[in-house]
Amino acid sequence: MNINQNYSPQLIPITLSKSLHLPPNTNRTAKVSIPISSISSPFIPHQHFILNSALYIPHKLLQFYNHFSTITLSNTTLYPQFVTKGVCIGFLCSYIVQQRNIHTSIPTTKSRGAVKSFGEMPVSLDLVMDKSTNHYSNDSSKYFPIHNQYNTDVITNPTTCYTIPSIHPQVDKDIRELATKLQHKPYHDALLALLSRFHRIFNTTEHNIADTPIHHVINTIPHTPPACKPYPQPDKEEPMYAIIQEFLQAGLISESHSPYAAPAILVKKKDGSYRFVVDYKKLNLITIKDSSPLPNMEESIRKLGQGYKYFSKLDLKSGFYQIPINEADREKTAFVTPFGLYQFNVLPMGLINSPPTFQKVMNDTLKPCRQFSLVYLDDIIVFSRSYEEHMIHLEQVFSALSSKHFVLNPPKCELMVSTINYLGHTISENRITPMNERIQAILNIKEPNTLARANKFIGALSWYRKFIPNFATIAAPIHAVTNLNKNDRRKFKWTSEQSNAFYQLKQMLTTAPLFLHFPVDDTPFILTTDASDFGIGGVLQQEVNGQLRNLYYHSQLMTPCERKYSPIEKEALAIYKCFARMRPYLLGRSIIVKTDHCPLCNIMKKTVRNARVDRISQLIQEYNIEKIIHINGRDNCLPDYLSRYPREQDDDLFDIDYGIGSKSAIVDSPSTNQNLLNAMLLRPRKNKTESVKATANVDAFVSTDPDTTLVTDTNVSNTKFIPHKFSSNYFDTNKLQQEQARDPNIQTIIRRLQQKPNNSPFIFKDNLLRKIITISPHSKLKRDVIYLPSSMIKPLLHACHNDPMTGGHFSLDRTYHKIKNLYWWPKMKLSIFQHIKSCLACQQYNVSRQKRHGQLNPIPPPDGPFLLIGIDYCGPLKTTPRENQYVLVITDYFTRHITAIALPNCTAATTAQALFNEYFCKYGIPSTILSDQGPHFQNQLMQNIQKLIGYNHIYSTPYHPQTNGIVERFNSTFIPQISKLQDTEDNNWDEYLQAVVFAYNSGVHKTTKYSPYELLYGRTPRLPISTRPSYFSFLKPNDYFNQLQKTLRIYHQAAKQNILQQQQHTTYRYDKNRPDPHYKLGDTVLTRIYGIRGKLDPKFSPIPKVIISVNHPIYIVQDTQNNMKSQVHVGDLRPIYID
């Protein structure tokens, strides 16, 4: 052997050439491959593969010709095993000859093969790398992270060889969660191996752009490139900058010099993050629509229902952002931000032709898999008849996606399931069931229990009268009880006859021919929406043979925040919510929107002045909306009805299937009132089964299956709807005799009666001591009532005041008169008063009939101008063309001089800048500033300015605007003035703001008896109505100064005296008959609740608070649960009395 040669053992990976299924206790011969053309060498099984697959592979000598050989695998377990193609099952042991060379440090290697004696092989069997076998060499490079050390993909360190390559921790977690859903361990292990092999398509940690031959093209009509200015969003500049940098680094966008410029904005999501939206409305108007068809929904659904047992649903991660745009058309996607002009390199959200392009790309990508996969936009369904077949199909789909560098969204993927929801249907092996989401809004309509609701129901269906055969006959029983005049309204009665008609009409709304189970291709969708004060409703329709057919009903309750929207915002919200709910049906289809709110008709053509409506128009611009049509309210019956009876939330109890072959069950439960009545009567309902006869025909629209059964609840003892506080066992009359025998006072009176029975106000009757009382002060009639033992006073008061039925938390007089004719005890009225006064619920909810507590404490007037100023914001108002929304109002407490500054926002930076530039630099630094505790005033920036410039900043008590009342008073004054002057079309109120402020400052103030202008400058202002003087007199500067000083001194003394007199007068009127309680340290109180509060919500906090600091009328209270401290005015406190 040549001493200059060094023989070192090396490992060559062996991978499975074809996926293999091994039933229990069987042997199978498998075809394997290596990246080497020919070799004969010992086989070493991969320990990691053996441990994870539980298969046995013997050590043996393998001979490879043209990269291939065979090997036997044994499954000795009781479970079937599945091995996917490309998995490394072991290694060949080879020798690499390293030739020493003193002139270079890089070793030159030559593979010499191996024989049984590990000697040199013949030259004819030298290892040769066939460059044509890229398939196998690429596979091996995927599974072994150190392949780049050798150009023949030979592995040098067996300890670092794994079938699962190095995976990002988040990706590993995602694919393990996907596989964990499979309970059967062999299936789980095989799926985990497959997912690990294709781990790159599950890597969502980075943005990815697919390598597809189809790029998005934007064809436009001849036009001038639309360009807009950036939308101002100063409070969102930092998040937008971060998103722009992230997109740039990922290659999704690039800097642009395009003549196009669409404005970009950020829309806040529910989780607090932001959604990047570009307003492409103008670009969409000049874009030629792509007529490429989307898959037929009915054919897709029926194809899945042909006996397939296993399904997998795959969802692409940010699918549009993975599709590249034709390079020549990228400039058309340019968008403008405060940081510059950029353009997309990938398909953005909001382009009108995005869905057709996406569908074409996915069809092309999965063309080899079309026999066992379906694609509908970004949803991919894989279906198979057996587990083994499904694993092979998944492998092929993953391979197709991986070849184009697509990335899936693991949390939204479902793998190897037997039942799947797809395009509004639930699909299993032998059954296709439409999901109830499309008719849930109709199913949720409850039977009318009042005349008004019955009239609204029949009115909502009146528009469908011409489409429902025999409508008049079916609805006749309902008409019979709704056609009542004003005097006969009390005769309204809803019986089983009306109930049958009600369910029959609901059935017709949810079955053919009025209801379509599948949409018709090449026919526009018609979406009709409406909004009420608390809900939204919508109906999706198509016109078939001249008649409208319904496809989807939607009804939804608004959130408390949404209920505060203006009418146009609520109507726009209804459109957006319906689009979001019906997205699978509407995306990529032609849509006509109908609304009874005319101002919404042009939201897709031009910018709307309402910011919220404009954002909604940008969120729905990805849909192909042909037009928005206004209809009369009388023609919008069903959406209007659905919006007035919205469903609050989905309830699994009423998740009823419908359609052919469905099984259903309807649970009939009595109403709350009926349950309460049953409990009170303490007897079963004899004819309960009769009450459900009216609903027997509901199974016709729920299911047409002859096996459908109607299940009713015959358990008459069900009392789950009884209020949990309802109880009458607080006071037990059976214990009266026993408790009287234990009461010493009562026993003393009984002994006296036995000794002297005459002339006593007590009698002993029916073994009970009774008190003789006068029925009323104006009557001589008397009666005897039971003397109540002291031990039973509390239970009786609880029953007569706290109990829902016998008490109801009513007042002292009502409670007293309820008890006095039955029972008596000493100091009875005082006991009742103390009990009611200590009732926590009454203290929380009762409305005080007194004036708000706390007397007036006016701020003493300062000695001169600009010593004390008050500041406050008024707004937000309607945005002006100058983008102003707020007014910063600054008032001098001595002169009442006003400074008002129109601003675009009320952030801390804007406030500080306006205060410095518009006030400090003009009038000087005040001694003290008074403001509320808003974040625009109470922040680190304002504190730094306060320390730097030198002034005191004091804050008013929360929810007590009277502290800064002078500023608040001006806010209520100038709003009506600028409202009268502004142009409502242009919304230019800021143009008149300074004129209104000057008019105020030049007018005489009611309190000071001088105008603010006079008190500030010592003279009256010249006005346009003033006459021109005929001559001018020039005083010497010293003379003018002395005169000005004298004038100002007189004005200021008189003004201060006038302010004090007015404050005395106002204080006297305010404090008259007003309670002013004083609390001590340690007192327990309740605090008033502010903010959004419903009619039935408590007025004071349910959590007691303890007073820890007293500075009447301001108190510092501490929460007894979380120890949080807050400053509260005495008028917002209510004492807690402990009985």
| CATH number, domain containing residue 755 | 1.10.340.70
H or E element at residue 301: helix 297-304
Among candidate residues 994, 1053, 1003, the one with its CA nearest the CA of residue 1023? 1003
Using the structure block, give the residue that is written with the tokens 């076998």: 133
d(CA 446, CA 668): 12
Task: Please state, as a whole number, how many other Cβ atoms lie within 10 Å of the Cβ of residue 259.
Answer: 13
832 and 874 in one domain? Answer: no
**Do 10 and 150 belong to one domain?**
yes
Q: Which pLDDT score is estimated for 691?
A: 35
Higher local confidence (pLDDT), 591 or 728? 591
Is pLDDT at 100 greater than 50 in this prediction? no
Q: What is residue 152's predicted lDDT score, i.e. its pLDDT? A: 30
830 belongs to a structural domain: yes
Q: Please indicate, yes or no, whether residues 279 and 422 belong to a single structural domain of this protein.
A: yes
Backbone angles phi, psi at 948, to 5 degrees: -70, -45
Task: Say how far apart CA 523 and CA 589 lie, in whole Å.
Answer: 9
Cα–Cα distance, 1084 to 1101 (Å, whole number): 12
In a domain, 134, yes or no: yes
Confidence at residue 668, expressed as pLDDT on a 0 to 100 scale: 37
Give DSSP secondary structure letters for 401-436: HHHTT--B-GGG-EEEES-EEETTEEEETTEEEE-G
> Contact, 394 vs 312, CB < 8 A?
yes
Task: Indicate if the pLDDT at residue 423 is higher than 60.
Answer: yes
Dihedral sign computed on CA atoms, order 352, 541, 510, 703? negative
Band of residue 1 on the pLDDT scale cut at 50, 70, 90: very low
Q: Do 157 and 262 fall within a single domain?
A: no
**The token pair that represents 59 in the structure block:** 């050590």
User: Could you tell me if 982 and 1032 are in contact, meaning their C-beta atoms sit under 8 angstroms apart?
Assistant: no
Does 479 or 571 have the greater pLDDT score? 571
User: What local confidence, expressed as pLDDT, does residue 593 receive?
Assistant: 93
Collect all residues with Cβ–Cβ distance below 8 Å to 621 and sequence separation of at least 6. 279, 280, 281, 284, 350, 352, 604
Ranges assigned E (strand) in 674-718 = none
Q: DSSP labels for 246-288?
A: HHHHHTSEEE---S-BEEEEEEE-TTS-EEEEE--HHHHHTBP
Q: According to the model, what pLDDT value does residue 420 have?
A: 86
State the average pLDDT over residues 988-997: 88
Q: For residue 670, what are its two tokens?
A: 């009595």
Taking a C-beta distance cutoff of 8 angstroms, is the pair 448, 326 a contact? no
- Tell me, what's the pLDDT at 926? 92
**Contact of 927 with 868, CB cutoff 8 Å:** yes
The pLDDT confidence band at residue 167, using thresholds 50, 70 and 90, is: confident
What 3-state DSSP class applies to 304?
Answer: helix
Ramachandran area for residue 455 (φ above 0: left; ψ -120 to 50: alpha; else beta): alpha
pLDDT at 95 over 70: no
Q: Given this model, what pLDDT does residue 707 score? A: 35
Is 100 inside any structural domain? yes
Euclidean distance between CA atoms 577 and 582, whole angstroms: 9
Contact (CB, 8 A) for 1088 and 1099: yes
- Cα angle at 40 between 93 and 153, to 5 degrees? 50
Q: 1062 lies in a domain?
A: no
Mean pLDDT of 878-906: 90
- The answer on 154 and 290 residing in a single domain is no
Give yes or no for a contact between 471 and 482, defined as CB atoms under 8 angstroms apart.
no
Boundary of a domain, candidates 1026, 1045, 1069: 1026
pLDDT category at 516 given cuts 50, 70, 90 is low
Show the beta-strand stretches assigned E in 473-632.
525-531, 535-544, 547-557, 590-595, 624-630
Whether the per-residue pLDDT at 942 is higher than 80: the answer is yes
- Encode pLDDT of 667-679 as tens digits: 333 333 433 333 3
| 908 in the same domain as 817 | no
Tell me: pLDDT of 103 over 60. no
Higher-scoring residue by pLDDT: 135, 882: 882
pLDDT value at residue 573: 92
* pLDDT band of 150, cuts 50, 70, 90: very low
- Average pLDDT, stretch 620-648? 79
Supply the DSSP string of 321-344, one letter for each residue: GGSBB-GGGGGGG-EEETTEEEEE
Residues 893, 821, single domain; the answer is: no
In a domain, 1135, yes or no: no
**Model pLDDT, residue 492:** 76
Mean pLDDT of the region 107-117: 35
Q: Note the pLDDT tens digit of each residue in 385-405.
A: 888 889 889 989 998 999 889
Determine which of 564-568, 991-995, 1011-1015, 1100-1104 has the lowest per-residue pLDDT on average: 1100-1104
* Domain end residue (candidates: 381, 404, 434): 434
List the CATH number of the domain containing 295: 3.30.70.270
Q: Do 160 and 41 reside in the same domain of the chain?
A: yes
User: What's the pLDDT at 751?
Assistant: 86
Q: Please give the pLDDT value at position 1058.
A: 81
Predicted structure pTM score: 0.42
Tell me the β-bridge partners of 30: 71
Tell me what pLDDT residue 704 has.
34
> Quick one: 292 and 378 in the same domain?
yes
Q: Which of 968, 999, 1026 is the last residue of a domain?
A: 1026
CATH number of the domain within which 892 lies = 3.30.420.10
Task: Based on the fold, state whether residues 27 and 159 are members of the same structural domain.
Answer: yes
The residue among 1015, 1016, 1018, 979 whose CA lies nearest residue 996 is 979
What is the Cα–Cα distance from 572 to 602, expressed in whole angstroms?
12
- 574-589 confidence digits (pLDDT tens): 999 899 888 878 877 8
Helix (H) or strand (E) holding 39: strand 39-45
Q: For the chain, how are helix, strand and coil distributed in percent, rounded to 5?
A: 35, 20, 40
Asked if residue 326 is part of any domain, the answer here is yes
Q: What percent of the chain has pLDDT over 70?
A: 79
Mean pLDDT of 714-737: 56
Q: Give the range of the structural domain holding residue 790, as residue numbers without chain letter.
A: 733-837
Looking at residue 446, its pLDDT comes to: 75
CB 1135 within 8 A of CB 834: no
* Per-residue pLDDT, 324: 92
Question: Is 398 in contact with 201 (CB distance < 8 Å)?
Answer: yes
Dist. CA 455–CA 457, nearest whole Å: 5
Q: How confident is the model at residue 1044 (pLDDT cuts 50, 70, 90)?
A: confident
In a domain, 722, yes or no: no
The residue ranking higher by pLDDT, 1101 or 252, is 252
User: Tokens for 1022?
Assistant: 């010249």
Q: What's the pLDDT at 652?
A: 32
* φ, ψ at 1134 (rounded to 5°): -140, 125
The reply to whether 362 and 275 lie within a common domain is yes
Cα dist from 904 to 235, 252, 881, 885, 935, whole Å: 11, 32, 11, 5, 16
d(CA 618, CA 349): 10
> What is the pLDDT, as a whole number, of residue 714?
34
Q: How far is CA 657 from CA 31, 414, 499, in A?
A: 49, 22, 21
pLDDT surpassing 80 at residue 107:
no
CB 62 within 8 A of CB 92: yes
Domain count, the chain: 4
1039 falls within a domain: no
Sign of the torsion formed by the C-alpha atoms of 733, 734, 735 and 741: positive
pLDDT 10s digits, 677-702: 333 333 333 333 333 333 333 333 33
For residues 628 and 603, give the distance between their C-alpha atoms in angstroms, rounded to a whole number.
9
Local structure of 907: helix, strand or coil:
coil
Structure tokens at 1021: 């202002």
Structure tokens belonging to residue 991 = 């143009």
Q: What pLDDT does residue 1056 have?
A: 81
Give the residue, 107 or 872, on which the prediction is more confident.
872
Shared domain check, 994 and 947:
yes
Q: DSSP labels for 62-91? A: EEEBTTEEEEEEEE-SSS-EEE-TT-EEEE
What CATH number should be reported for the domain holding residue 70?
2.70.40.10
Q: Give me the mean pLDDT over the 204-231 stretch.
A: 87
